[in-house]
A and B are shown apart, each in its own frame.
Chain A
């Protein structure tokens, strides 16, 4: 009886010891924290870059639909090539290409931001484009027939309505982006996933560091998902007023 209790206690003690080793000893918690910081940094900067590229590409493509303007037509072709390349090849291959071939001497973090931003921009642009096109054509006709120019019509009439179509899929895109940044550990960037590698190399333990980073990713995604839900709810409410 006593023996069993002791064995359980010592098993639990060993687990606590492992936890301590993999989370706290030798300031190892700092690896997770610093890794988390890098992961968030890459995600946020790449998301911003993706929004800028995406909005630009979307507006070029939408504008090129109803015009004979030669510059817009050429711009449209270039955008198509960009979209095909970045959506048609694996993100990991793009990251390796950017890090090892295009910018082998560049600051690793910024090269990763560029690679993820350009990849994200390709997906985001389609989200923007679909959101803009989903606004009824009569809306822009009504705006134009009141004498508003193209820019004002976009600014005051089309985009405020398009944002409702755009926001939920845009945020979902950034959730996917966050998870995908895990591959930057493969090009030697000290992100959250790299923290696991560093620690397990010292402690020869896989489960606890992996579980730790998985939980951190899960918490981040859960928070972001909650934000998407809240945004969707608010947008629906404004539809019903």
Chain B
């Protein structure tokens, strides 16, 4: 579904990604871990071109997307993104947050979009918050809404950029539960996170990125039980 070939990204003189090759198949749940500043978020943000790669190729559903002529807006409609800081639109209600893009992009009629939004809100247990404003909600609720907002576009893949890092500890669980449910439904997911428990339980594959390179990748059992790269061993000994 997503193929990345020799992806490099520099900010000024600083090379953040130093040549990443990776293929993500439909239905996979790929969890990316690594120390801060390792380039894992940048890698994720390159996938939907929020960061423009310096060189390399990114293929999505059989199309090369990082070329001048590709219609990135169209491609992004199929790639949901959830941010660390939620990034809900503060001037719109929860319902308007969710329905804005489907309505303005003419993907759904207003009534269909609202019905769809309410169904999704119900699924994450926030149906009664439809007319609230983001400010009135807790961090965990906001992040669940942000997930629903992405889901309302019926994406083929969901990208999560440290979705629980900005949350109070007691709210992490509710967001991870929604993500787990999404995984069980068969959504293709790429998740940058520090939640090792989530990686163990949900991932089909775990990647370890450090200094702009994928140093190790394996199914979670093997990844955690039998890490091969010394840097990964060192990293795991610190976080586990």
Q: Which residues of A contact B (CB under 8 A)?
A: 136, 138-139, 141-149, 152, 156-157, 160-161, 238-241
With both beta carbons as reference points, the residue of chain A lying nearest to B83 in the complex is identified as: A138
Which residues in A have their C-beta under 8 angstroms from that of B90?
161
> What 0/1 readout, one digit per residue, does chain B (86-101) give for beta carbons within 8 Å of chain A?
0111110000000011
Q: Does the CB pair B73–A148 fall under 8 Å?
A: yes
A32 to B76, CA, bound (A): 61
Q: Does the CB pair B50–A146 fall under 8 Å?
A: no
From A142, A147, A157, A240, contact of B77 by CB (8 A): A147
A238 to B80, CA, bound (A): 29
Q: Does the CB pair A136–B87 fall under 8 Å?
A: yes
Q: Does the CB pair B101–A147 fall under 8 Å?
A: yes
Is B133 part of the contact surface with A, judged by Cβ < 8 Å? yes
Is B179 part of the contact surface with A, judged by Cβ < 8 Å? no
7 closest A-B pairs by CB: A147-B77, A142-B87, A146-B101, A138-B87, A145-B81, A147-B76, A149-B73
Q: Does the CB pair B89–A139 fall under 8 Å?
A: yes
Is B150 part of the contact surface with A, judged by Cβ < 8 Å? yes
Which residues in A have their C-beta under 8 angstroms from that of B104?
148, 152, 156
Q: Does the CB pair B89–A157 fall under 8 Å?
A: yes
Q: Which residues of B contact A (CB under 8 A)?
A: 48, 50, 73-77, 79-81, 83, 85, 87-91, 100-101, 104-105, 133, 135-136, 146, 149-150, 153
Number of A-B contacts (CB under 8 A): 64
10 residue pairs of the A-B complex, CB under 8 angstroms, read: A141-B81, A141-B83, A142-B89, A142-B146, A145-B80, A147-B105, A148-B100, A156-B104, A157-B100, A240-B135
Q: Does the CB pair B83–A147 fall under 8 Å?
A: no
A147 to B153, CA, bound (A): 9
A150 to B129, CA, bound (A): 29
Kindly provide the distance from the CB of B138 to the nearest chain A CB, expressed in whole angstroms.
17
Which residues in B have their C-beta under 8 angstroms from that of A157?
89, 100
Kindly provide the distance from the CB of A138 to the nearest chain B CB, expressed in whole angstroms.
4
A152 to B73, CA, bound (A): 11
Q: Does the CB pair B91–A146 fall under 8 Å?
A: no
Q: Does the CB pair B50–A147 fall under 8 Å?
A: no
Which residues in A have their C-beta under 8 angstroms from that of B91?
160-161, 238
From A136, A146, A239, A240, contact of B149 by CB (8 A): A146
Q: Does the CB pair B76–A142 fall under 8 Å?
A: no
Kindly provide the distance from the CB of A237 to the nearest chain B CB, expressed in whole angstroms.
12
Q: Does the CB pair B87–A144 fall under 8 Å?
A: no
A143 to B77, CA, bound (A): 11
Which residues in B have their C-beta under 8 angstroms from that of A143?
89, 101
Given the interface pairs A146-B77, A147-B76, A147-B101, the reply to whether A141 lies near B153 with Cβ below 8 Å is no
A148 to B87, CA, bound (A): 15
With both beta carbons as reference points, the residue of chain A lying nearest to B75 in the complex is identified as: A147
A39 to B149, CA, bound (A): 51
A145 to B88, CA, bound (A): 12
Q: Does the CB pair A147–B74 fall under 8 Å?
A: yes
Which residues in B have their C-beta under 8 angstroms from that of A148?
73, 100-101, 104-105
With both beta carbons as reference points, the residue of chain B lying nearest to A155 in the complex is identified as: B104
Kindly provide the distance from the CB of A24 to the nearest chain B CB, expressed in whole angstroms.
52
Kindly provide the distance from the CB of B150 to the nearest chain A CB, expressed in whole angstroms.
7
From A144, A156, A161, contact of B50 by CB (8 A): A144
With both beta carbons as reference points, the residue of chain A lying nearest to B159 in the complex is identified as: A145
Q: Report which residue of A143, A144, A147, A149 has the largest number of chain B beta carbons within 10 angstroms of its beta carbon.
A: A147
Given the interface pairs A147-B153, A148-B105, the reply to whether A142 lies near B73 with Cβ below 8 Å is no
Which residues in B have their C-beta under 8 angstroms from that of A146?
76-77, 100-101, 149-150, 153
Kindly provide the distance from the CB of A151 to the nearest chain B CB, expressed in whole angstroms.
10
Extra pairs beyond A139-B87, A139-B89, A142-B89 (9, CB < 8 Å):
A141-B50, A141-B83, A143-B101, A147-B73, A147-B76, A147-B77, A156-B100, A160-B91, A241-B133
Given the interface pairs A138-B83, A156-B100, A241-B133, the reply to whether A144 lies near B76 with Cβ below 8 Å is yes
Q: Does the CB pair B89–A145 fall under 8 Å?
A: no
Kindly provide the distance from the CB of B79 to the nearest chain A CB, expressed in whole angstroms.
7
